[in-house]
């Protein structure tokens, strides 16, 4: 195993490295065997206040740097990741239970976010508009929002922290980052090490590691951040949004929440492609991805053959210790997730779904499970699974398949398989989701292309120009010649 000890810190990053002041100390462990990685003294609410205060002090100087200098620091951070990619991947594997393939993908996505964000300082533009007042000019400047608070999840901690941190910095903001308690290193403190090495001025990025029960509400309620970027479950995100928008200190929010992604197989689909896409899209990172295939909807003429081929393909997936070469499905992140997935398996059996692939639950490793003949009244159809379990639903025809795909409160990612690209595009546009992929998996993220959902899957858009819009605000400055004649 590659040595990643130089990437580990047991301190917070608040204007520099220092210990937290909470009475709590949390132990970060490998979810497969509970082997300790590091023990971290947690942040208190006072630490959060200090982090925000320092960020506020440093933000204007950072924004005032020439675009070329800010871009150079972001580029250097991306270069540093690539130079240390093997160690970073090993740490992602150990801390989040990721397979080698997933860790490699995650590292690459983080680099992509940085390189895209490095273009932002020179892409931020304003507008000049005419005025109805003689001699007056209307200037609309696009400015940084100021300080951004980022709350990131545990499933893709490195990528999903960087997806908010990099563009926020690129747009001239300062950031306070609170990573998930299960992944404080790859979701937080690792980013501090990277940006420190890249030459980011101290205080522009601050990282506080702490329990949500102790600092979560305080992090959002603070009067300092102008925007809270949250990635996580829909119930928690709804709470964050309510507090941020409706609280004493109103602020903007960017929310990327849960999903219930349908993968639709129409009657003219290439079956091998559909089976392969459904397998990868479902079981990557044990299904612990907001975009993971959650429901497979197959049009009747292909249903039986799809179920048979998919089941046979899934039975070949290796599972166990994520550090073993070749492992595809590793451990779930914690015991709470294991119990949630176990309950969903038992519920599917109780509701009468046909179990075509079954297996074991050994510690936190849940082997792949597949249920056929799932119906819309079953929990597997309605709820986000976030584990290596999937249900297959039969659709009578294309319109029925569309109705099934849209029969959910969520609308993040989706996919449709068909040999007819015109048909696929037409079908895709009628799915109520922020993202739909024709003949590709539901799990897709490109740093220059918008990312976000509809319905209860979130608010706002990430990546590319959409990130510039999210992490900046517009300021109208009207410039008159000072020759007005006032009526009173």
Give the whole-angstrom CA distance, residue 375 versus residue 306: 17
Q: Both tokens of residue 35?
A: 């082997």
Is 221 annotated as catalytic? no
What does residue 331 show for φ and ψ, rounded to 5 degrees?
-75, 150
Beta partners for residue 129, in sequence order: 138
Contact (Cβ atoms closer than 8 angstroms) between residue 77 and residue 195: yes
Contact 221, 141 (CB under 8 A): no
For residue 438, CA distances in Å to 277, 417, 426 come to 11, 6, 10
**H or E element, residue 338:** helix 335-350
Phi/psi region, residue 460 (left: phi>0; alpha: psi -120 to 50; beta: rest), is left
Of the candidates 143, 164, 141, the one whose C-alpha atom is nearest the C-alpha of residue 152 is 164
Strands (DSSP E) contained in 300-432 are 354-357, 361-362, 365-366, 369-372, 389-395, 410-411, 413-417
Q: Residues 53, 116, 256, 384: which is the catalytic one?
A: 256
SS3 of residue 125 by DSSP = coil
* Catalytic positions, written as ranges: 256
């Amino acid at each position: 195993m590659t040595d990643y000890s130089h990437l580990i810190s047991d301190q917070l990053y608040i204007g520099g490295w220092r210990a937290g002041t909470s009475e709590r100390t949390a132990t970060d462990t490998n979810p497969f065997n509970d082997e300790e990685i590091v023990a971290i003294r947690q942040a208190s609410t006072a630490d959060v206040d200090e982090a925000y205060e320092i960020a506020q002090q440093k933000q204007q100087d950072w924004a005032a740097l020439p675009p070329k200098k800010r871009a150079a620091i972001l580029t250097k951070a991306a270069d540093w990741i690539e130079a240390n990619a093997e160690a970073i991947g090993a740490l992602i594997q150990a801390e989040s239970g990721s397979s080698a393939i997933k860790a490699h993908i995650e590292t690459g996505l983080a680099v992509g976010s940085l390189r895209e964000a490095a273009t932002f300082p020179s892409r931020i533009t304003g507008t000049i508009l005419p005025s109805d007042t003689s001699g007056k000019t209307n200037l609309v400047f696009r400015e940084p929002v100021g300080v951004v608070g980022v709350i990131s999840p545990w499933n893709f901690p490195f990528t999903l922290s960087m997806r908010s941190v990099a563009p926020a910095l690129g747009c001239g903001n300062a950031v306070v980052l609170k990573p998930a308690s299960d992944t404080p290193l790859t979701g937080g403190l690792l980013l501090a090490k990277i940006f420190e090495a890249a030459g980011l001025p101290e205080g522009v990025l601050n990282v506080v590691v702490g329990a949500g029960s102790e600092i979560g509400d305080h992090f959002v309620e603070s009067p300092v951040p102008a925007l809270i970027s949250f990635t996580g479950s829909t119930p928690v995100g709804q709470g964050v949004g309510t507090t941020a928008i409706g609280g004493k200190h109103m602020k903007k929010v960017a929310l990327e929440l849960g999903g219930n992604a349908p993968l639709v197989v129409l009657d003219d689909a290439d079956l091998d492609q559909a089976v392969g896409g459904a397998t990868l899209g479902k079981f990557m990172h044990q299904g612990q991805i907001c975009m993971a295939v959650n429901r497979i909807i197959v049009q009747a003429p292909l249903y039986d053959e799809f179920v048979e081929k998919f089941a046979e393909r899934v039975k070949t997936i290796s599972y166990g210790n994520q550090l073993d070469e070749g492992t595809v499905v590793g451990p779930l992140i914690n015991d709470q997730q294991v119990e949630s997935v176990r309950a969903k398996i038992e519920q599917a059996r109780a509701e009468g779904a046909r179990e075509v692939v079954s297996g074991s639950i050994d510690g936190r490793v849940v082997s792949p499970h597949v249920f056929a003949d799932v119906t819309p009244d079953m929990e597997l159809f309605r709820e986000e699974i976030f584990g290596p379990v999937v249900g297959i639903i039969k659709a009578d025809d294309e319109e029925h398949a569309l109705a099934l795909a849209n029969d959910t409160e969520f609308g993040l990612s989706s996919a449709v398989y068909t040999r007819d690209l015109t048909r696929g595009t037409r079908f895709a546009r009628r799915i109520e989701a922020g993202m739909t992929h024709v003949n590709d998996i539901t799990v897709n993220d490109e740093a220059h292309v918008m990312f976000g959902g509809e319905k209860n899957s979130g608010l706002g858009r990430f990546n590319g120009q959409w990130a510039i819009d999210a992490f900046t605000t517009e300021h109208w400055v009207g410039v008159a010649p000072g020759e007005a004649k006032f009526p009173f």
